[in-house]
Amino acid sequence: MSWIAAGRLRYERLVAARGRSVVLALVLLGVVAAGVTAVGVASPPTETTRMATDTAEVTATGSDSATVTGESELYDRGEVVRDSPAYLTDAAPELTVTAETSVSGSRSATVTQELVLTYRAKRDGETYWQESVPIGHEEGEADDESSTVSATVNVADVRDRIETIREETGSRTTVSAEVTHRAAYETEARSGELRSSAALSINDRTYSLGDGLGASDVYHDRETVTRPAEDRTTVVFGVAVASWSLWTAPLALLGLLGAGHAAAVRRRDPDPRAVERRIERQRFAEWVSHGEVPDDVADRRVAIASLGDLVDVAIDADRRVVHDQAAERYVVIDGAVAYVYVPDDRPPAGDGPETADPLETATARSGGDRTSVPGKNENDAAAHALDETGTEEDDVAARAGEEGMTETDDAAARESADGSATDGVSEPEAEEDESDSAAVGTADEFVWSDPASESDSEA
């Protein structure tokens, strides 16, 4: 029996026995799953986070220049030399340092800028003394235009100051000067500081301001955003839904469809016993053959309560179970004994008379004698003990006739059987035993039929 067919029959049995409960359970399952799915679609899980909505940059740039005020063969008096790698100390002794701070986009910032000249003394690469001298200060707004700070440094004075420090610290000390720019800014979303420095190098005839005066800071405008939680949602047709909805939606559909199907099966009002018999037939199909069993196939008949018990008998006796579809009975023939199971096709009794015992039904429909079987009530066995005794003596007489007894011996055996029957067997039963004894010779007259041929003949 395939697992699909077995599952279908068990489902029908469940609906037949508990149809109302099954329908209500499936409806409840479908409604709950549909509600959970609706919640997952309408209100998927969300998370709150701060996201970068735009990027801003605060930039500080530096420049330097010197105006020629002295005599020079290279430059004209009054000429302004800008961002030169070297300036002439005698021709242009003053250096102008300029720093500009700006903000990208349409943003604005409050900027406080300073220019500082720092002297530093080092030995073995480590600073052990320094002095900072502010040379420029500016506060302002940086919006569409940059905020600018500038300062002028007299290079000759710086050189003299360096020489004084060097004379005091000795030859092992390195004395240097540098220009530092600091820009503290504050915007609506951020505040910070930019810092950069450039060394001021002075020789005998030239000086220069090294690279490095300039810095920038990039930041992001952020805002609090509520969005679907990526780890708990799934995008379906462009809409974010809760991930569990992918499971509850099919469950809701199956629950409601199952409830409808169960209600349809319940309206057919299936008989639980009939469904159970179908399950039983499919379970034992490999032990059952189809055929026709004559009524006189055996001397004795034993009524069996269920098909499962009859299959157990067939297995113990190494026989097949024969299904006589015409008489609607199952038979196992073992010598002179026929074990018979007749399904009870009657509907449940309800308020009427109580359903008959399956053994009585099998005995009545098969036309045989009721004989006790293992597991039957001991009182039932005792009630029929006398019946069995008379039947056994009749069997002895019948077998004696087959072995070639003379007519006189046969008559004596019958007289002996009649005498025994007088003690515990009625006259009709004795006649029936004689008829059964005559049927012993037909025990092997078993008529098989091909189910396919039966189908063709019925057609």
pLDDT at 171: 85
**Hey, how many other C-beta atoms are within 10 angstroms of the C-beta on 352?**
8
Q: Phi-psi category of 393—alpha, beta or left, where left has phi over 0 and alpha has psi -120 to 50?
A: alpha
The mean pLDDT value for 237-251 works out to 87
pLDDT above 80 (res 312): yes
The mean pLDDT value for 316-329 works out to 89
Q: 414-457 pLDDT, tens per residue?
A: 443 344 333 433 333 333 444 343 333 333 334 443 333 333 33
125 vs 71, 132, 178, 198, 200, CA distance in Å? 39, 19, 16, 18, 18
User: If you average pLDDT over each of 11-20, 82-91, 375-384, which comes out highest?
Assistant: 82-91
The mean pLDDT value for 81-87 works out to 93
Tokens of 154: 């007299």
Higher pLDDT, 239 or 219: 239
Q: 118-133 pLDDT, tens per residue?
A: 999 999 989 999 999 9
The mean pLDDT value for 25-37 works out to 90
Residue 66 to residue 100: CA distance in whole angstroms: 18
The least confident of 8-12, 29-33, 370-374 is 370-374
pLDDT above 80 (res 154): yes
Task: Tokens 């600073």: give the residue.
Answer: 127
Q: How confident is the model at residue 332 (pLDDT cuts 50, 70, 90)?
A: very high
> What is the Cβ-side half-sphere exposure of residue 415, based on CA atoms within 13 angstroms?
6
Q: What is the pTM of this model?
A: 0.43
Residue 96 in contact with residue 87, Cβ under 8 Å?
Answer: no
pLDDT at 427: 38
The whole-chain average pLDDT of the chain stands at 74
The mean pLDDT value for 204-230 works out to 83
pLDDT at 255: 87
The mean pLDDT value for 363-367 works out to 43
pLDDT above 80 (res 362): no
Q: What's the count of helices (H) and strands (E) in the chain, helices before strands?
A: 11, 19
**Hey, how many other C-beta atoms are within 10 angstroms of the C-beta on 384?**
15
Residue 117 in contact with residue 158, Cβ under 8 Å?
Answer: yes
Residue 184 to residue 97: CA distance in whole angstroms: 18
Residue 359 in contact with residue 370, Cβ under 8 Å?
Answer: yes
pLDDT at 128: 93
pLDDT at 3: 63
Give pairs for 354-362: CB < 8 Å, separation 24+.
358/303, 358/305, 358/306, 359/303, 359/304, 359/305, 360/303, 361/303, 362/303, 362/304, 362/329
Residue 307 to residue 343: CA distance in whole angstroms: 8
Element at 338 (helix H, strand E): strand 337-341
User: If you average pLDDT over each of 52-56, 195-199, 289-293, 401-405, which comes out highest?
Assistant: 195-199
Residue 44 to residue 239: CA distance in whole angstroms: 10
Task: Give Dmax over CA atoms of the chain in angstroms.
Answer: 175
Residue 401 to residue 232: CA distance in whole angstroms: 91
pLDDT above 60 (res 54): yes
Coil, helix or strand at residue 325: coil
Q: How buried is residue 289: exposed, middle or buried, by Cβ count under 10 Å (0-12/13-18/19+)?
A: exposed
Residues 6+ apart with CB under 8 A from 331: 293, 297, 321, 322, 324, 338, 339, 340, 341
- Strand extents, DSSP E, 203-268: 206-209, 214-228, 233-236, 239-242
Higher pLDDT, 436 or 336: 336
Tokens of 138: 């500016």
189 vs 98, 108, 222, 226, CA distance in Å? 27, 11, 8, 20
Residue 190 in contact with residue 219, Cβ under 8 Å?
Answer: yes
Q: How confident is the model at residue 283 (pLDDT cuts 50, 70, 90)?
A: confident
Residue 417 to residue 406: CA distance in whole angstroms: 16
Q: 157-188 pLDDT, tens per residue?
A: 999 999 999 999 988 899 999 999 999 998 88
159 vs 110, 116, 237, 449, 458, CA distance in Å? 36, 16, 75, 130, 130
pLDDT at 229: 84
